[in-house]
Chains A and B, each alone.
Chain A
Amino acid sequence: MSGVWQRKDLLSLRELSAEEIGQVLSTASVFKEILGRPIKKVPSLQGRTVVNLFIEPSTRTRISFELAAVRLSADVVSLDKETSSIRKGETLQDTARNLEALQAGTIVIRHRSAGAAHFLAQRLKASVINAGDGSHEHPTQGLLDSFTIRERLGRIEGVQVLIIGDIVHSRVARSNLWALTKLGAKVKLAGPSTLLPKEFAELGVEVVHHLDGALEEADVINLLRIQHERQVQARVPSIGEYATLFGLNSERFKRCKPGVLLMHPGPIHRGVEIASELADGANSVILDQVTNGLAVRMAVLYLVSGGKGVGGDS
């Protein structure tokens, strides 16, 4: 029996239907069960080569994809900027064509430029998975966050999700926004006006610049990492002032619902985005996110491997 998934690529969550997202999540639950077994490996991708092309460094996501591919019995190669020829001036186009000539079946790409995954998908027969492209999207993060919310709260529809941080530069915010709104959650974005431009309100979410009122309603609070420190510092007076206005401290936490889920894509800046004791507290699902990331990435690697549809949203 086949599902709705037909895509050879996973480029963005904006272009997926609720049904396609649903299929990834239900496939991921099966993988999560497998990850709980003594033998955590299945032979689905035996003989398939998965290349992790991480032009922008990211240890965490790369390890998660590597492990996911290994659990599916794929052959896995990981390249970064230093080990690929990109450093020698080779274009992304040429690097990708070389990988395809080596018969890579799936390319997982992390790149500094928005649209880099689209660029590859439009040019290659191989499956392309976007592992984060500039400030555009980080689809597997959006999926694993949705998975974690559904696992913990039993539903996504009607859930109030508050995403706090440097929204304008955040691919995590964008992927979360699309997945959660498609699945029926009510999403609110919060951050300083210089990091959260007004046009986000045109994307089906609410935009606020104060945490008052927003904290009390939230079932889930997703705290984004203040990532591009240089860019952020040009837009807010200081990281300290940001933490004062938008950091989740224990004082603010008292105003939240008792069962609120605290999420963070990691790595955490303790004391900036979230107080240390909250990150380690009972409401934190930060480590669940990491575990679920593995199951979600297995699901995505599995689904695109059988996909026939042409990728790209153009």
Chain B
Amino acid sequence: MSEIFLQGGWVVDPASRRDAKGDVLIRDGKIAEGKPSKEAVVIQAEGLVVAPGLIDPHVHLREPGQSAKETIATGTAAAVAGGFTSVIAMPNTSPVADGPNTIAWMRQRARETGVANVFPTGTISLGQKGEQLAPIGSLRQAGVVAITDDGHCIQSAELMRRALEYARMFDLPVLDHCEDKSLSAGGVMNEGKWSRILGLPAWPGIAEEVIVSRNVLLAELTGARVVCQHMSTAGSVRILREARRRGVPIEGEASPHHLTLTEDRVEGYDTSFKMNPPLRTAADVEELKRGVVDGTIRFLATDHAPHCGYEKEVEFDEAPFGVVGLETALGIYLTELVHSGLMPLRDVVERMSAFPSSYFGLGRGSLAVGAVADVTVIDLARAWTVRKSEFRSLGKNTPFEGRELKGRAILTIVDGKIRHDLDVRAGRS
């Protein structure tokens, strides 16, 4: 028997409507009732928030095939350091996760080397080529929680329609990176004043909005569940808001960078600010925040996309898209949404735990008795500075280097095991 006793914290568990001071007992990997035994590891949680383990619905773990950028071991280490107990892994590995064998391999690898729960996704199309459907039924049986051609938005509306119809049979969510490639046309930053100044090829917001509109119509037509990933423009928010009001089964996802940074950061051609979709304007940031607050956008993700230093140390238009996020996202969301007064803490916790768990059917995200013991202990008041040199991720490509944040995960428990203990609290009492 193993026990962990989190004593005297503020327990925020939206799934069981708990938002009060109290204790949480973990016994043999589950949330338990009663008093701790003498052998229990007691952790003083006075002044700390005890929340269900956080879930990141959008992570690139890069394994198999790109383990110089990240591995399941380093990616999940970064996850727990950032307070995430579960990650949903994107399928753009090498080979691409477009068949059950790759999924089986990833799950096996995650069991052997991961320190957080890894939920794989499969592709929509074979080889992410956007031409022919992947074996979605077999992928489902192999354990994927969603399908997506992330980064390679399905350009054919006809193929997307068939994918949604087919996925609907399994009630499998479809995640879409919304980009009409004929409109984005090789763009590397937002189309606007700054792309004109810097002379960089432009990726206009309309290229995202056209696909968000298409996805709304196809979700409505087919009844399939669709998530518009890492939304970046005010127009996308407005389209989604209107659709959700009508009951269309479509969701939106926010990323920390689109919610906080603007296009002018590209001024020095620093590739740490190159991501897809690109950073937009202050007006877009405002509307994205409004969308998060009013529930138009419910997912709070990272789009953690690690790259090797040398890959990013090139000309701006040559560099790969993407930034890391697992170790900074919670701090950003707490600073920008909670401390700023836009959202109560329990709503942010709900969006990052109970909601993604129920949407993807992960069976996590709760501190109710009997639930799997995934727990994140947060020091809401902890002020800290982002230092990429301290990252556990192999990827150091952050746009937040040096940023002052408030709020940090200080203890992360996965399946009843302590996987991150920033202040070394376990066994200290």
Is A115 in contact with B192, judged by CB distance below 8 angstroms? Answer: no
Choose among B191, B198, B310, B315 the residue with the greatest number of A CB atoms under 10 Å from its CB: B315
Which residues from A are CB-within-8-Å of B193? 199, 202-203
Q: Given known contacts A91-B314, A199-B192, is B199 in contact with A174 (CB within 8 Å)?
A: yes
Q: Are B199 and A114 in contact (CB under 8 A)?
A: yes
Is B192 a contact of A118 with CB atoms below 8 Å? no
Tell me if B196 is interfacial: C-beta within 8 Å of chain A.
yes
Complex Cα distance, B195 from A135, in Å, reads 10
Distance in Å from the Cβ of B35 to the closest Cβ of chain A? Answer: 58
Instruction: Say yes or no: B269 contacts A114, CB within 8 Å.
Output: yes
Give the residues in chain B near A91, CB-CB below 8 Å: 310, 313-314
- A116-B315 contact in complex given A136-B199, A168-B196, A174-B199, C-beta closer than 8 Å: yes
Chain A hits for B270, CB < 8 A: 314
B268 touches A134 (CB 8 A): no
| B315:A92 contact, CB within 8 angstroms | yes
For A166, the chain B residues whose CB sits under 8 A away are none
A118 and B268: CB pair below 8 A? yes
- From A113, A313, A314, name the one whose CB has the most chain B CB atoms within 10 angstroms: A113
Q: In angstroms, how far is the closest chain B Cβ from the Cβ of A76? A: 25
Contact between B197 and A115, CB atoms less than 8 A apart: no
Q: Which residues of B contact A174 (CB under 8 A)?
A: 197, 199
Which residues between 167 and 213 of chain B lie within 8 Å of chain A, taking CB atoms? 191-193, 195-201
Q: Is A137 an interface residue (CB 8 A)?
A: yes
Contact: A119 with B267, CB < 8 Å? Answer: no
Q: Counting CB contacts under 8 A, is B318 at the interface? A: yes
- Tell me if B317 is interfacial: C-beta within 8 Å of chain A: yes
Contact A113 B315 (CB under 8 A): yes
Report the Cα distance A202→B196, complex, angstroms: 10
Given contacts A199-B193, A200-B196, contact A113 B316 (CB under 8 A): yes
What residue in chain B is nearest A135 (Cβ atoms)?
A: B199
What chain A residues lie within 8 Å of B192 (beta carbons)?
Answer: 199
B188 to A, closest residue via Cβ? A114
- Contact pattern, B 303-332, Cβ under 8 Å of A = 1, otherwise 0: 000000010011111100000000000000
Contacts of B199 in A (CB 8 A): 114, 133-137, 171, 174
- Residue from A111, A119, A122, A133 whose CB has the most chain B CB atoms within 10 Å: A119
Q: How far is the CA of A134 from the CA of B196 in the complex (A)?
A: 12
Bound form: Cα–Cα A37–B54 in Å: 76
Contacts of B268 in A (CB 8 A): 118, 122, 312-314
**Contact residues of A between 192 and 211, Cβ < 8 Å to B:** 197, 199-200, 202-203
- Report B-chain residues with C-beta under 8 Å of the C-beta of A168: 196
What residue of chain A has the Cβ atom nearest to residue B192's Cβ? A199
Q: How many A-B residue contacts, CB cutoff 8 Å? A: 67
A133 to B318, CA, bound (A): 13
CB <8 Å contact, A114 and B316 = yes
> How many residues on A have C-beta within 8 angstroms of the other chain's C-beta atoms?
28
Are A113 and B198 CB-contacts (below 8 A) given A91-B313, A119-B269, A312-B268? no
Within 8 A of B (CB), among A83-124: 91-93, 111, 113-116, 118-119, 122
Of A118, A199, A203, which is within 8 A of B269 by CB? A118
**Docked complex: B388-410 residues within 8 A CB-CB of A:** none
Contact of B315 among A119, A137, A197, A200 (CB under 8 A): A119
Is A314 a contact partner of B314 (Cβ separation < 8 A)? no
Q: Is A48 an interface residue (CB 8 A)?
A: no
For residue A41, CB closer than 8 A to chain B, the reply is: no
CA distance A99 to B356 in the complex (A): 52
Distance A203 CA – B196 CA, assembled complex (angstroms): 9
B residues less than 8 Å from A115 (CB atoms): 198, 200, 269, 315-317
In the complex, the chain A residue whose C-beta lies closest to that of B200 is A114
- Who on chain A is nearest to B196 by CB? A199
Task: Verify if A14 is at the interface (C-beta below 8 Å from B).
Answer: yes
* Chain A hits for B191, CB < 8 A: 197
Closest beta carbon of chain A to B181's beta carbon, Å: 14
**Contact present for B267 and A93 (CB under 8 Å):** no
**Cβ contacts A277-302/B at 8 Å (1 or 0 each):** 00000000000000000000000000
When distances are taken between beta carbons in the complex, the residues of chain B under 8 Å from A171 are: 199
Contacts of A137 in B (CB 8 A): 199
Contacts of B269 in A (CB 8 A): 114-115, 118-119, 314
Contact A114 to B317, CB < 8 A, known contacts A312-B268, A314-B268, A314-B270? yes
Residues of B near A92 (CB, < 8 A) are 314-315
Q: Which of B193-245 contact A (CB under 8 A)?
A: 193, 195-201
Tell me the smallest distance from the CB of A160 to a CB of chain B, in Å.
22
A195 smallest CB distance to B (angstroms): 12
Bound-state CA distance A92–B267 (Å) is 20
Bound CA–CA A256/B264 (angstroms): 39
Q: How far is the CA of A136 from the CA of B270 in the complex (A)?
A: 15
Pick from A93, A113, A313: contact of B313, CB below 8 A.
Answer: A93
| Interchain CA distance A97-B205 in the complex, whole Å | 38
Q: CB within 8 Å of A: which of B329-348?
A: none
Task: Enumerate chain B residues within 8 angstroms of A314, measured Cβ to Cβ.
Answer: 267-270
Docked pose: A285 CA to B350 CA in angstroms: 69
Q: In the complex, A93→B319 CA distance in Å?
A: 13
Q: Give the residues in chain B near A136, CB-CB below 8 Å.
A: 198-200
In chain A, residues 44-92, which have Cβ atoms closer than 8 Å to a Cβ of chain B? 91-92
Which chain A residues lie closer than 8 Å to B316 at the CB level? 113-115, 119
- A118-B269, A119-B269, A314-B268 are contacts. A93–B196 as well, Cβ < 8 Å? no
With contacts A93-B314, A119-B269 taken as known, whether A197 is within 8 angstroms of B198 at the C-beta atoms is: no
State how many angstroms separate the Cβ of A267 from the closest Cβ of chain B: 21
Cross-chain pairs A/B with CB under 8 angstroms, 19 sampled: A14-B197, A91-B310, A92-B315, A113-B316, A114-B198, A114-B317, A118-B269, A119-B314, A119-B315, A119-B316, A122-B268, A135-B199, A135-B200, A168-B196, A171-B199, A174-B197, A203-B193, A203-B196, A203-B197
In the complex, besides A93-B313, A133-B199, A202-B193, 6 extra interface pairs with C-beta distance below 8 angstroms are A92-B314, A115-B200, A134-B199, A134-B200, A136-B198, A168-B196
Q: Which 7 A-B pairs have the closest CB atoms?
A: A314-B268, A115-B269, A136-B199, A135-B199, A113-B315, A114-B199, A115-B316
B residues with CB within 8 A of A: 191-193, 195-201, 267-270, 310, 313-318
Please list the residues of chain A having a beta carbon within 8 angstroms of any beta carbon in chain B: 14, 91-93, 111, 113-116, 118-119, 122, 133-137, 168, 171, 174, 197, 199-200, 202-203, 312-314
